[in-house]
Structures are given as structure tokens and as C-alpha cells.
Structure 1
């Protein structure tokens, strides 16, 4: 029982517990406190996005109004750094959903080749 309580405490102290959809503010805060959480969030989002698009990641994609092209050569750290930097530079937009901001951040940081 003590082990389970210790594990629950450890998880609650390192992972943001948020009710409802995450905002840019939630992920901006996580960039400062738990960057590994943000890396997991970003890579999970990219995995889901690529599965939804069912084709080569290097192809041109459109996700909402943002044109998004991701190379297989991008590392999780590059994408996480781009996202955290975008959030820091667009603090007026932090009330928007975290996934919408991630789409914008990756589209800006890694634009499609013309």
C-alpha cells in the first residue's frame, strides 16, 4: 500500500493534472517544469497526426488553416524546442487549445518546401 501511495504522489508531482482540454498555458507551464512531459505530448500528437494523414510525413499536409509538412529527420527534441519557443513568443495566445498551438508552432518552425 505504501508503494502505491508513493507512486501516486510521484506521478501527481511531476505530471500536470488538468480537467478538460489542455491550453497553451498548461503546456507553456510544463515547458518550464517538466519538459519531458512536453516531449511526450508532442511526439504523441505527431504520431496521431501522421496516422490520421495516412501518407508520407514529408508530403504536404493541411491541418485546418495551417500547412504542415514534417520530415522524418526531425527529432522529438527539435519539435519540442520549437513548440516551447512558440508558446513563449505568443503568450497572448496561451488560452487557445494546446493542439491548435502545436499545429501553428510546427507549421511555422518547419514550413513546407515550395
Structure 2
């Protein structure tokens, strides 16, 4: 009997979870309510960005003797074309506020994915200095 109860409970919870990726509209609605989801989204996005950057750098180091792998890594870096320099200690709360302001001021972009919007916002505010 308890197995049926647990299965029913899990099915009910799973049915309430929205499917799909966050969009600007969803993030903006969270900006007008409790911003905890926005902060969590921003923190997760930054964690993913940092992890991807680490893996890309490790790929270059691991493949240094392999010319073809180095060329492929360089092409990947050029195709992404984004260089972010978020200062150490920057809080997700601050970036969440920047994202919310951006979404409020730019209604035409709200149908974009949260990932694209975060990339645009962070790149606009935390681009690395030209070398």
C-alpha cells in the first residue's frame, strides 16, 4: 500500500514540474516575484560556464602535442567568440538584478532562451579587456 502512495505522490510532483528551458518571459515573471529562482538560475549558469571553460582549457593542455586537436580547439573558441571576465566575488544576486533590469528594458528579447539572455547580459557587462 505504501508503494502505491509513494508512486502517486511522485507522479503528482512530476506533473507540476514545467518542461523545457527557461525563457526571458519565465525569468521576468520570477523577477517580479521572489528572485530566488533567478539567483539560482544565474548561479547555475555561472557554474556551467566556469566548468565548460575549465574543460576547454584542459582539452588544450591535454592535446598540446596533437596539432589537429589544437586546431579544432582553436576553431571551437573562435566559433563561440565569447570572452567573459566576471570579477571574483561577484554575487548571483547582483547578476540576477542586472538580468531582470535587462529583461524589463528589452521586451523584444523575452522569447529567447535563458542561456542566450544570460550570455548577452554577462558579455555586455563583463567582457574581458582587449589584449
Q: Do they fold alike, i.e. is TM over 0.5?
A: yes
1:66–1:104 Cα contact (<8 Å) kept: no
Q: Tell me whether 1:22 sits opposite 2:22 in the alignment.
A: yes
Is the helix fraction higher in 1 or 2? 2
Larger radius of gyration: 2
Q: List gaps (5 residues or longer) in structure 1.
A: 56-60
Q: Give the superposition deviation at 1:62.
A: 7.5
Shift >3 Å, 4+ stretches: 61-67
The whole-number CA distance in structure 1 between the counterparts of 2:129 and 2:105 is: 24
SS at match of 1:68: coil
Give the TM-score taking structure 2 as reference length: 0.63
Q: List gaps (5 residues or longer) in structure 2.
A: 58-76
RMSD, aligned CA: 2.6
Aligned residues: 98
1:30–1:38 Cα contact (<8 Å) kept: yes
The whole-number CA distance in structure 1 between the counterparts of 2:79 and 2:53 is: 9
